[in-house]
Amino acid sequence: MPSYDFYFTRLTYESGDWDVDIRMPSNVLNSLVEYTTLRVDPAERVVALSDPKMLQAPFCYFAGHKLVQFTPAERRNLEKYVRGGGFVFVDDCNHDIDGLFAKSFEAEMAKIFGASALKKIPNTHRLYSCFFKFDGPPTTGGELNGWGDDLVHEYLKAIEFGGRVRLLYSNKDYGCEWDYDFRNKRFLAVDNTRFAVNIIQYALGA
């Protein structure tokens, strides 16, 4: 069995729609190979949030458009993983702070971690400088086109434990932004997956 520094885990959940942005993982994994020295598993792993296997993942991706309503097993695993030092990147595919995904997901976070656990993070956070340098969360095409809530979200939110982000929450729909064949990056003036590299490097302890 090859030894990897990183593998990409997508979390499934019983409510909503988790199977979104299907080309995004391979695109992001390609960027890790291109920019870092990490030994990267090239295959996306798809694991149920209720499965104890997710507790071993170095990084988990959770996304969708619809209602988020966790089962008791999903709720227990997510809390154990986040409190235990795991890292989850949650992306609202609606890019809408008043949408169904946003409202239901945030309600679940309040139920699990408390009403004040999910907080805005400053744009000077380590996340934005741990590999590439950003002035804050990069803007996505969905925001600029006025879809969703017609807002450019100038910050991300997070749940922290031990002084580290353990759950990063975005209403910017990065998954859609990065959902293209990695070979098409050559047509971009600036590779827009560079922020994904920052997120993963931070998740791994950078």
DSSP label at 163? T
Bridge partners of 60, per DSSP, are 9, 88
Helices (H) and strands (E) in the chain, counts: 6, 7
Strand 45-48 vs strand 60-64: parallel, antiparallel, or unpaired? unpaired
Q: Which of 142-151, 163-172, 189-198 has the lowest mean pLDDT?
A: 142-151
**Torsional sign, CA 169, 190, 151, 136:** positive
pLDDT for 149 beyond 90? no
Is 69's pLDDT higher than 60?
Answer: yes
Q: What is the pLDDT of residues 174-202, one digit of tens each?
A: 999 999 888 888 888 889 999 999 999 99
Domain extents for the chain?
6-204
Give Cβ neighbours of residue 86 (< 8 Å, ≥ 6 apart). 55, 57, 58, 60, 166
Name the pLDDT band for 2 (thresholds 50, 70, 90): low
User: What is 6-204's CATH number, 3.30.565.10, 3.40.50.12140, 3.30.160.20, 3.40.50.1000?
Assistant: 3.40.50.12140
Conformation bin of residue 125: beta by default, left when phi > 0, alpha when psi is -120 to 50: beta
pTM for the model: 0.94
Fill in the DSSP letter of residue 139. Answer: P
8 Å CB contact between 78 and 49: yes
